A = this chain, B = another copy of it.
Amino acid sequence: MTPRVTIKTVAQAAGVSPSTVSNAYNKPDQLSAAVRERVLAKAQELGYAGPDASARALRSGKAGAVGVLFTDKLSYAFSDPYAVGFLAGLAEVAEEFTTSLLLMPISSVDIESGTNAVRQAAIDTAAIFCVDHGHPALEMLKNRGIPMVSTQRGHDLADGWVAIDELDSAAAMGEHLARLGHRDVVVLVDNHQATSSQPIELDFDQIGCDDCELRIAGLRKTMPDARFRVVSGGHNAFGSGLAAAGWVLDSQDRPTAIAGLSDVQALGAMEAMKTRGLVPGRDLTVTGFDDIPAAETAGLTTIRQPIKDKGRAVGRLLLDPNETERHLTMPTELVVRASSGPAPRN
């Protein structure tokens, strides 16, 4: 293997100091155009690809990347258009600041490996996307002194958040359901701890997902007289909603409404109804959360939140030094469609 071409090599070949070569790349106004051209030409000739990223990162203390932390496996995360929308917004801002995105899935099950990944990641700042309060990876980041912006309000370790009012939003949905006369609700939640996709009923203190808890609390607030059950079919995905709702529908004790805490789960629930010949909104009410594009097509009643804007705002808080606001609450809106209807009278 031939010895690697470094700044030093180029400097010698071009008859200048290493500093000058560095400046040729990073601070063009610090040297004469003639020398700069000569240096760059020599570099090209030697096959030098420019300053090494790691070395630069070490010396300058800037990695040029934003870490993005997901609770779920990436493969799950990508299956939810909500996550994808968020990422798209974040990416938009990152591009503007010529910064890359470093995706880091941190499992709730194999905590150690995720924490390790976070420890080793070369990042300047981090976006915390739906990661539960108390995950060690957050403390790790705090320890590393990496500024974090979260999509949840609760994170005291984070330096800022961009969130919706989970409780109020869910309360709006609860009001809608209450008005329709529903008093028996099954809530579909994402269970990060799940190892199988076997649907299970959870106790309220077993949920272990901050946002889910808040949303349930919101529903209860405006539906004080209703009976609530919490069911999970595993991770946040269409298939989980399908499985969980199927299990509920096949049971002896059907509710009058199924409230998915995400659209993908709710869409799965609608599918479960259809395969059983049931019509959402007539035979049973299904509601979602997020308002992803497919929700409109499917006629799903849901809570709209500005997904992409959320991503953009997180990006600004992380990258734009002029951004002084540290806490943003995004607006939400109840979108009523065909999947919700009056509860049967008995």
Contacts and interface: CB of A to CB of B under 8 A. Distances in A.
Contact of A56 (B103, B116, B120, B297): B120
Contact of A103 (B47, B103, B140): B103
A294 interface: yes
Contacts of A117: 98, 100
Interface residues of A, number: 52
Given A65-B122, A119-B50, A74 B98 contact: no
B84 A113 contact: no
Interface stretch (A85-93, A194-202, A227-235): A85-93
B105 A49 contact: no
Interface in A287-346: 294, 297, 308
A64 interface: yes
Nearest to A79: B88
Interface string A56-80: 1110010111000000011100110
Contacts of A116: 98
A95 B122 contact: no
Given A74-B87, A78-B87, 15 more contacts: A49-B145, A50-B120, A51-B119, A73-B91, A74-B101, A75-B92, A78-B85, A78-B88, A79-B88, A91-B103, A95-B105, A100-B102, A100-B103, A103-B103, A294-B294
